[in-house]
Chain A
């Protein structure tokens, strides 16, 4: 169909354009383009955005929403069912939604970076990295097979490493980028284990490119066909699902691999705004969404638990942070926890919708904080801020709007709100159903699954209000900083405004994101088919369209009043700065919690001691092994060679030369002995003569007579 071909071409252009721009900037950016490199990259990204929008429009206009497939055989793997490793593209509704989101945000961040990174010595290289990152993220979104997804997954990890460690002269970024990469790797190890389990059990089927139902849908059909759909879900399937999810844990910074995300704030703010809010961390959620068809109820439980823990823990930590970027980082962690919990509870559509809305408002929040940091000459501690709304009104307004978004603001007692309202409340509703279903099945702890997100929803508003108040409201606490503060250049506040606008209007009624996502919702999941946990099955099915839970949610959130309440409370408490909060933190019961939270629950210390030191010790042991044993063996071999050579030399010297010399000596001795017959004495000659004659005669006679 020509229109589908056009859609495919447009999206491929959007996919490959950032790669081309990255290569161009890398090679000629510094020498030829100079400042224009940034504009060039932004323009290319804008072109990609336009392409994906147009493709999206065409897609929406179509009736047939079956996935468009492009399968390019890449590496032959003889002996398997698939026969090849495939590259290519699989384009369904979710892909369309993600593409437009990613290209849009990438374009805005490129524009923002033109302002933020101006004057940096490696200005052009930043854009090369940024474009490469965008290319990698688009690769994940468009992947048509697990292998291709994993390739671009790794590429995303690499480029985020390059971006976080962009200012590599400083110690902080060096350590942070290494930490990010290593923790991602640990997650990927789990991913590969899960993949390995599936490969072991199902064979080369895994390598098949996406069929009509999405990447893992084919897999689900295969699993069913093998007859696993009837009895207990096999343990290996749960294990595989958990393993694959581990990749998401690493990438999306879930508990326990969450410690890299706050440290990643060492990178430039544009990096934080794209990588750690909108795209890379979202990749984990995207992967889990694609995994959906093969997740067993056990895997679902695991995912929900992880999401819940992350959610709660990160919110606690965000409450006490004083660095503005760290507050936003922990906020990201918390929101990712929401998304993961949503997926685990079966609220597939709302979790993914939250991914998209979160991308907009978190990106905007980071960019606002970047403007503030830029204006404050890289002072990031909020205790030095205060009253900046007068100096930076646009930034402050954008920040406020996005605070509403993250709070899930809505007009009280109505169903109208900003984007965050729909997505977050949807997730909570899903968890309500899930928790209720669990409790109905006899698991009495099921209530944590919805009380947790509910409480954290309050807390979220509170800490966002806190950061807003500390930064923009109240009296300036550092006069020098306040005097020098100024509004950001237009290249920086324009993207903020655009994103803030998106944060408001990305509602199901106005923009088609939600519909696109719902269109790809897996109708049949393994969990849905496997029966022995009927309440779970019911819960997941119902959670997909959870009008039942929504009621309870709205009630719990005081029908839209809760956010107003917490906002006011937060602003009020932090208007005069840290005065009141420090007094509260000093209270006996609270102080202990505070200490724990501010030390990030001692996870960093724990990992450092247990993991890092263990590996260092192992490295020392292995180095000693290498040096003494392996080198020792090599030295021994050398010594043996020397010994052998010595032996051979001795042999050659003594025996061979000796025999030659001995022959000569023998000849000499014999000659010397025989020589004595030639004494010169006549009588001896005569004697010998006659003796010989006699003997000869005897012999002759003997012979003649006998013979």
Chain B
């Protein structure tokens, strides 16, 4: 049997990151882009937790919690950011009657 190690979890987070980037780049729907952002944040949190678990640790001292806390805060901030993003998207929808980001081209240089 294969021992599941850090590498595997990191690979999974890589897969999530790639998906998140692809999602961000290709989606025309603004909410789709938001979803991509969520994916990337998730990948990062997973990465933190995996590293926290497999980090060399002195067994006589307390267990490391840095990764956990960080992942916790990631979740908090993801939620906050999703709220703001949705507010923006609602504004976009109110102004353009559509959530297609390709229609939001007024700021071109």
A residues apposed to B, CB below 8 Å: 675, 677-683, 686-687, 690
Contacts and interface: CB of A to CB of B under 8 A. Distances in A.
A315 B21 CA distance: 138
A261 to B, nearest CB: 107
A686 B33 contact: yes
A686 B109 CA distance: 16
A683 B108 contact: no
A682 B109 contact: no
A663 to B, nearest CB: 22
B55 interface: no
B104 A680 contact: yes
B108 A678 contact: yes
B102 interface: yes
Interface of B: 21, 24-28, 33, 101-102, 104-109
A683 B25 contact: yes
Contacts of B26: 683
Contacts of A681: 101-102, 105, 108
B102 A683 contact: yes
A686 B102 CA distance: 12
B57 to A, nearest CB: 27
B25 A682 contact: no
B16 to A, nearest CB: 15
29 contacts: A675-B109, A677-B109, A678-B108, A678-B109, A679-B105, A679-B108, A679-B109, A680-B104, A680-B105, A680-B106, A680-B107, A680-B108, A681-B102, A681-B108, A682-B33, A682-B101, A682-B102, A682-B104, A683-B25, A683-B27, A683-B28, A683-B33, A683-B101, A683-B102, A686-B24, A686-B25, A687-B25, A690-B21, A690-B25
Contacts of B25: 683, 686-687, 690
Chain A interface helix/strand/loop/mixed: helix
A682 B105 CA distance: 8
Contacts of B28: 683
Contacts of A687: 25
Given A678-B109, A683-B28, A690-B24, 20 more contacts: A675-B109, A677-B109, A678-B108, A679-B105, A679-B108, A679-B109, A680-B106, A680-B107, A681-B105, A682-B33, A682-B104, A683-B25, A683-B26, A683-B27, A683-B102, A686-B24, A686-B25, A687-B25, A690-B21, A690-B25
A57 B15 CA distance: 151
A51 B70 CA distance: 144
Nearest 5 Cβ contacts at the A-B interface: A678-B109, A680-B108, A680-B105, A682-B101, A680-B107
A19 B16 CA distance: 131
Contacts of A686: 24-25, 33
Nearest to A675: B109
A687 B25 CA distance: 5
Contacts of B102: 681-683
A675 B104 CA distance: 17
A683 B36 CA distance: 12
Contacts of B108: 678-681
Contacts of B101: 681-683
Contacts of B107: 680
A679 B107 CA distance: 8
A245 to B, nearest CB: 106
A677 B107 CA distance: 12
A676 to B, nearest CB: 9
A204 B68 CA distance: 126
A686 B104 CA distance: 14
A677 B24 CA distance: 18
A115 to B, nearest CB: 115
A643 B98 CA distance: 69
Contacts of A678: 108-109
A682 B102 CA distance: 7
Nearest to A687: B25
Contacts of B106: 680
B51 to A, nearest CB: 19
Nearest to B105: A680
A239 B28 CA distance: 121
> Most chain-A Cβ atoms within 10 A of its Cβ — which of B24, B25, B106?
B25
B104 to A, nearest CB: 6
Nearest to A678: B109
A687 B28 CA distance: 12
Contacts of B27: 683
